[in-house]
Structure 1
Amino acid sequence: MSDTLSSNAIIYAILSINSEVALQKEYLDSPDVLPDERENEEGILDDLEQAFMEFVDFYKSCRKQDNTLPELDELLNNPL
């Protein structure tokens, strides 16, 4: 297995994690979260947001090397 990630893998990771962040926020805003689960669910959201930011930072460095890659805003604002 290669130690480097392809641009497509990074893009799909960003889009997937972004979707998971949105779902987790929606879940936390719902009445479905029990009080004793809230802290754990908020921790999950924090972890997802951290992972998202790490992939975004990595993508930005990839984009500096390859300006044919779409801008981040374009990725996040257009449906697949």
Structure 2
Amino acid sequence: MSVQAYILVQTEVGKAADVTGAISALPGVTLAEDVTGPYDVIVRVEGTSMDELGALVVSQIQTVDGITRTLTCPIVRI
């Protein structure tokens, strides 16, 4: 069973497209799209555990040039 989450990303002005392209290439990322509103990019990720997702966010996604803030929203099955 996999663990999935949405990552809401804020970027520096004018960097959303570059950030989306860089994040799209990361393993574990299933979707990355530019959006409007308080966040600039929405990313869907998948992994085998919450620890794996945490490592993906902290060591790979948050290190992409142009990102100023992320918010991770794990998907729950109710």
Q: What is the TM-score when the length of structure 2 is the normalising length? A: 0.30
Higher strand share: 2
Greater gyration radius: 1
Higher helix share: 1
Q: What is the TM-score when the length of structure 1 is the normalising length? A: 0.30
Q: Which has the higher contact order (CA 8 A, sep 6+)?
A: 2
